[in-house]
Amino acid sequence: MTKSNTAIYGPGTWNTYARYFFGVTTSFQLDLYREAARHSQGNVIDLGCGTAKLAPIVLDNPSVNSYTGIDASETMISLAQQLSELFGRERFNLIHGEIESLAHQRYASGVSINSYYSWPDPAKTLAHIYDVLEDGAIFVMATPNDKLNMPEILYQCEKELIGHPYFEIFKQMNLSLAENDDAGFLAMDALIRQIQHAGFRVQNCNQSFYADGMNFLVAAK
């Protein structure tokens, strides 16, 4: 990872972005969250959870026992605590820290949505994720691919969020994140190779989300 990449994907960026990410949810995001939740089971770990907006949807799945989210941004986790209070602390856990610091507690499902592209060392992170999942666990990965057209996505989002007080900053920050030359936006075959190298078996994959700009994979340990 270059110095510019470290800066744009560092804690300062995510802490600034947190309020706008928490306050804006698009139909593109909801479609992705619902599909990820459909594959979840047992005790779920959300890897790079942001403000944990996935949690209420995952916890609606009767196959899910609990949700744990981990994120390196203190502000993201602080905002996620608000959801914890709304949707039941007894099944809703949050951890402030790097994914690689996660203790080797075993989870039945792992989910990573729009986090991979900012990881400094994807191979190391994937290996650690493999270790914290129990045998037979499901791992869902969703990350932008090299066909993502963020300006078009945001143009469509603006139609459903007319007048939203956070949308303009949300839009500008997403453009900045997506247009960084060092963003890890991979073609599907390259991502599959990385997932398999970590030890996972890819069960299915598609690019149906974000107007074909998102890699979506379901893998098993």
The predicted structure's pLDDT at residue 4: 42
Rounded distance between C-alpha atoms, residue 212 and residue 194, angstroms: 20
Residue numbers of the domain that contains 51 = 3-220
Residue type, 200: F
Count: domains in the chain: 1
Q: Collect contacts of 2-6 with beta carbons under 8 A, ≥24 apart.
A: 2/182, 4/180, 4/181, 4/182, 5/120, 5/180, 5/182, 5/183, 6/120
Query: How much is the pLDDT for 7?
Result: 56
Q: Residue 92 belongs to a domain with what CATH number? A: 3.40.50.150
Q: Which residue numbers in the chain have pLDDT < 70?
A: 1-8
Q: Evaluate if pTM is beyond 0.85.
A: yes
Order the strands of the 201-206 sheet from edge to edge: 92-96, 64-71, 42-47, 107-113, 133-144, 214-220, 201-206
